[in-house]
Amino acid sequence: MIFEKDLAGVWRLVAHYYLEDDGSTSEGPMGDQADGLLIYHEDGYMSASLMRTEPLTSLNGAPPPTYLGSTDNYLAYAGRWHVRDETVVHDVVIGSHPRVVDTRQVREVKVSDTDLRLLRRLGEPHDYVVMDWRRA
């Protein structure tokens, strides 16, 4: 069972990628070199920021990836958070993209003392988007 105290603190993004049910992976929506910070405050507030660090030209002419309806290089949102069973729930209050504001973002959680994995079930064309974090 996961508790809020297990997640409270600051986390730095280590990897961001797509994961298929067969175990295969591919570059995530913010690229292979994505960077980010995730903050879970013990009072129930949270903030998440993700950014692409390599230029979009590295995509070999392919269209920019979309994430929550945007082709931007940066995604951020903040709001309230809580743990429910084996998931963390983000109730978004503000965000860098209007499509994410006033939404509930639910992520499956795997956590250890130093590492945090958040998985979001997508469906087609990818099964999951995965964010691996390390305690800052």
Q: What's the residue count for the chain?
A: 136
Q: Could you tell me the two tokens for 66?
A: 């979309």
| Nearest Cα residue to 106 out of 133, 136, 82 | 82
CA end-to-end span of the chain, whole Å?
23
Q: What is the pLDDT of residues 10-46, one digit of tens each?
A: 999 999 999 999 999 999 888 889 999 999 999 999 9
Note the pLDDT of residue 118: 98
Q: What are phi and psi of 53, to 5 degrees?
A: -105, -25
Predicted structure pTM score: 0.86
- Domains of the chain from N-terminus onward: 4-135 (2.40.128.280)
Question: For tokens 């729930």, what's the residue?
Answer: 89
Q: What is the pLDDT of residues 73-115, one digit of tens each?
A: 899 999 999 999 999 999 999 999 898 999 999 999 999 999 9
Note the pLDDT of residue 71: 54
Q: Could you tell me the two tokens for 63?
A: 């269209």
Residue 64: band (very low, low, confident or very high) from pLDDT cuts 50, 70, 90: low
